[in-house]
């Protein structure tokens, strides 16, 4: 049976080995949950964050439930290394130190696979995790629609209590990093 590292966030610093880790069994090999159901609506402020389990581009198992107690920025984007998605990722990268000071963790999600995410993160020195969502399951849990197999550009700011604080349903890449930082400041201040 495959084992993956599931990390606890006690002392977590993204980009380095987590200080407190435990092994968790992977559900690889099990059939994926159905993703073609009725059209979901985007999560709204006040909704709890879904308990997403995925493996990041760095091979780390990520559980959003395990990150409760930290603010999160979960942003969905259509495709690695395209002009708009690159601008958005670079802005979040450039403001990452300030976002971390607010106590938040950034996680990007697209339907690209892990290899594509690895190349995108390396090329642009992205200091945050990217989750492959090749079957659209994570997008469905957040109510993010797929267009031609690609996630719509939507960002969720999630509080330490695990509740959605702010939703950006139609993101314009330029200036979005600052919007996210302002939303984090408002949610914690």
- Catalytic-role residue among 61, 85, 106, 157: 85
- pTM comes to 0.79
> What is the residue-averaged pLDDT of the chain?
83
- Asked whether residue 10 carries a pLDDT value surpassing 70, the answer given is no
For residue range 98-142, what is the model confidence (pLDDT) as tens digits? 999 999 999 999 999 999 999 999 999 999 999 999 999 999 999
Active site residue 8: no
* pLDDT value of residue 39: 52
CA pair distance 158, 74, nearest whole angstrom: 8
Task: Count Cβ neighbours within 10 Å for each residue of 116-152 and write b for 16 or more, e otherwise.
Answer: bbbebbeeeebebbbbbbeebbbbbbbbbbbeeebbb
Residue 84 belongs to some domain of the structure: yes
pLDDT digits (tens, 9 = 90+) for 11-47: 333 343 332 333 333 333 333 333 343 456 999 999 9
Residue 38 lies in a domain: no
* CA distances to 5, 17, 46, 73 from 187, in Å: 31, 28, 12, 12
H or E stretch covering 101: helix 96-101
- In this structure, is residue 34 part of a structural domain? no
Residue-level pLDDT at 21? 33
Count of structural domains, the chain? 1
């Amino acid at each position: 049976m495959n084992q993956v590292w599931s990390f606890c966030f006690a002392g977590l610093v993204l980009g380095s080995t987590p200080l407190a880790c435990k092994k968790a069994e992977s559900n690889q090999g099990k059939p994926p949950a159905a993703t073609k159901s009725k059209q979901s609506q985007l999560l709204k402020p006040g909704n709890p964050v879904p308990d997403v389990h995925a493996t990041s581009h760095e091979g780390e198992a990520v559980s959003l439930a395990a990150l409760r107690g930290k603010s999160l920025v979960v942003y969905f984007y259509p495709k690695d290394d395209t002009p708009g998605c690159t601008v958005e990722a670079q802005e979040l990268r450039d403001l990452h130190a300030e976002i971390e000071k607010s106590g938040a963790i950034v996680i990007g999600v697209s339907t690209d696979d892990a290899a594509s995410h690895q190349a995108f993160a390396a090329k642009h020195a992205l200091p945050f995790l990217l989750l492959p969502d090749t079957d659209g399951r994570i997008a469905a849990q957040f109510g993010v629609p797929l267009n031609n197999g690609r996630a719509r550009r939507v960002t969720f700011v999630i509080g330490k209590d695990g509740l959605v604080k702010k939703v950006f349903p139609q993101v314009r890449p330029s200036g979005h990093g600052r919007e996210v930082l302002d939303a984090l400041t408002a949610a914690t201040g």
